[in-house]
Amino acid sequence: MNPSNEAIAQDAALKSAELDEKQQRLAVFLDRNSLSAILLSRHENIAWLTAGQVEARVAAGSETAITSLLITHDGLRYYLSPRNEAPRLADEEFAGLGYEPVLYPWYQSPAILIHELAGGTALGSDTPIAHARHVNLTSLRAPLLPVEIVRLRTLSRQTADVTAAVLESLQPGVTEQEMAARTAAALIERGITPTVLLMGVDDRIRKYKHAVPRGGILERYGMVNLCARKWGLVVSITRFVHFGSVPEDLAASFVAAARIHSELLHATRPGATSAQLFDVAREAYKSVGAAEEIELHHQGGPCGYTERDWLITPTGEETVAIPQAFAWNPSLRGAKAEDTVLAGENHTEVLTETPTHPVIETVLDGVTYRSAGVLQR
């Protein structure tokens, strides 16, 4: 019997190899930046370095955890924690990872301990703190490792299933808050945390790019747009339902959004820069007669341990490093195309497919790309 994706994601040997690879990437980073130690406090970096094991988030919206990791150039590894948090962190987060706990009273700052343990003055930190160099670890999180891809596929499949089920459950009269509640409950039931819940209906979808739930009541047209996190990884997806015939102008907008989405997927190749991808998006909007729409919303970018690691911009210098996850989200005139995909050497895999829902196919240079259409009820 083949092991499940869940089992593979937690395989001890694979996890050990993943932890070793990430420690090596971090060691190279320390050498390249002449750092004696580094302090990691941001959730995405803690999750990445611990193979998705440590979820030390208490305040859901906080960018930093209740613990920090300190890794020295000599290979020493610590986690710093208030004493009152120590029992749970030891039992449920850091078990088996080989980190030494460094504890302090909740009412005191760990600053002195951090600098003592760092063993030198060249300390880096992923958040701004006194007497440390602020560093960005985004580049270390790509390319994805095979076991990370397994986890990402699993999360994507589960999230897509939830999205499809919620969309299919909707009926006229449901409120945006109820749409959000159904989505959040179904995700949390699967151990997945919703990080973005944009639930819009009817005119609010056409008027606002970020239609947060605000009491709208579904009449004919509904949107379920979310980001979801598990094992530190984050995926994005948007789907739409329309009761009755889809208006011709809206259907045309979905075809146009699919075209722009496909152009971006087609251009997501090794070494492509943020600026080059932005140019692709800009030209694609022009080609569908909606040049101005690119100004109204960001177009997406790579994801993984955050909703977007970076966004494409006219002057962006970041580059595609495959295999890497992306979530493009072109939108215009009430329509949007958004899925989480895995970009490889010669293939782009849509991870959040919803097979029971309509698909718009776009062919570019003989390659067929699939974007989600509107579910008509």
Instruction: Please indicate, yes or no, whether residues 44 and 116 belong to a single structural domain of this protein.
Output: yes
Distance between CA 185 and CA 279 in Å, rounded?
39
Residue 119: predicted pLDDT? 78
| 7 — pLDDT class (breaks 50, 70, 90) | low
Three-state SS at 240: strand
CATH number at residue 124: 3.40.350.10
pLDDT tens digits along 146-193: 999 999 999 999 999 999 999 999 999 999 999 999 999 999 999 999
Residue 61 has pLDDT above 90, yes or no: no
Residue 160: predicted pLDDT? 98
pLDDT (average), residues 22-28: 97
Instruction: Please indicate, yes or no, whether residues 127 and 174 belong to a single structural domain of this protein.
Output: no
Say if residues 336 and 253 touch (Cβ distance below 8 Å).
Answer: no
Q: Phi, psi (5° rounding) for residue 27?
A: -60, -40
Distance between CA 8 and CA 208 in Å, rounded?
41
Among residues 115, 141, 167, the one where a domain terminates is 141
Which DSSP symbol is given to 3?
A: P
Residue 2: predicted pLDDT? 43
Burial 12-46 (b: 16+ CB within 10 A, else e): eebbeebbeebeeebeebbeeeebebbbbbbbbbb
Distance between CA 141 and CA 325 in Å, rounded?
11
Residue 72 has pLDDT above 60, yes or no: yes
pLDDT tens digits along 292-322: 999 999 999 999 999 999 999 999 999 999 9
> Do the strands 300-303 and 233-242 form a parallel or antiparallel pair, or are they unpaired?
unpaired
Instruction: Please indicate, yes or no, whether residues 84 and 211 belong to a single structural domain of this protein.
Output: no
Q: Phi, psi (5° rounding) for residue 154?
A: -65, -50
Work out the angle between the directed axes of helices 146-169 and 176-189 (0-180°, nearest 10). 140
Amino acid in position 34: S
Among residues 107, 125, 141, the one where a domain terminates is 141
Instruction: Please indicate, yes or no, whether residues 85 and 179 belong to a single structural domain of this protein.
Output: no
* Sign, Cα dihedral of 284, 221, 357, 192: positive
Domain count for the chain, please give it: 2
| 1 — pLDDT class (breaks 50, 70, 90) | very low
Distance between CA 333 and CA 264 in Å, rounded?
19
Among residues 141, 173, 202, the one where a domain terminates is 141
Average pLDDT, the chain: 95
Residue 12: predicted pLDDT? 85
CATH number at residue 167: 3.90.230.10
Residue 6 has pLDDT above 70, yes or no: no
pLDDT (average), residues 194-204: 97
pLDDT tens digits along 249-306: 999 999 999 999 999 999 999 999 999 999 999 999 999 999 999 999 999 999 999 9
Beta bridge partners of residue 217, listed in sequence order = 175
Tokens of 25: 């990437």
pLDDT tens digits along 316-343: 999 999 999 999 999 998 999 999 999 9
Domain extent, residue 301, equals 146-376
| 3 — pLDDT class (breaks 50, 70, 90) | very low
Nearest to 37 by CA among 92, 96, 108, 116: 116
Instruction: Please indicate, yes or no, whether residues 196 and 291 belong to a single structural domain of this protein.
Output: yes
Instruction: Please indicate, yes or no, whether residues 255 and 323 belong to a single structural domain of this protein.
Output: yes
Instruction: Please indicate, yes or no, whether residues 123 and 152 belong to a single structural domain of this protein.
Output: no
Tokens of 94: 């850091």
Distance between CA 9 and CA 230 in Å, rounded?
12
Residue 11: predicted pLDDT? 82
Say if residues 126 and 37 touch (Cβ distance below 8 Å).
Answer: no
| 346 — pLDDT class (breaks 50, 70, 90) | confident
| 82 — pLDDT class (breaks 50, 70, 90) | very high
CA torsion 20-25-26-30 (nearest 10°) is 140
Nearest to 37 by CA among 98, 125, 118, 99: 118
Alpha helices in 268-359 (DSSP H): 274-287
Instruction: Please indicate, yes or no, whether residues 43 and 56 belong to a single structural domain of this protein.
Output: yes
pLDDT (average), residues 240-252: 97
Residue 20 has pLDDT above 50, yes or no: yes
Instruction: Please indicate, yes or no, whether residues 161 and 95 belong to a single structural domain of this protein.
Output: no
pLDDT tens digits along 109-147: 999 999 899 977 799 999 999 999 999 999 999 999 999
What pTM does this model have?
Answer: 0.94
Instruction: Please indicate, yes or no, whether residues 291 and 314 belong to a single structural domain of this protein.
Output: yes
**Which contiguous run of DSSP H or E holds residue 82?**
strand 77-82
> Do the strands 133-134 and 123-125 form a parallel or antiparallel pair, or are they unpaired?
parallel
Say if residues 80 and 46 touch (Cβ distance below 8 Å).
Answer: no
Residue 4: predicted pLDDT? 52
Tokens of 302: 């790579």
Instruction: Please indicate, yes or no, whether residues 136 and 201 belong to a single structural domain of this protein.
Output: no
Instruction: Please indicate, yes or no, whether residues 152 and 137 belong to a single structural domain of this protein.
Output: no
Alpha helices in 170-222 (DSSP H): 176-189, 203-207
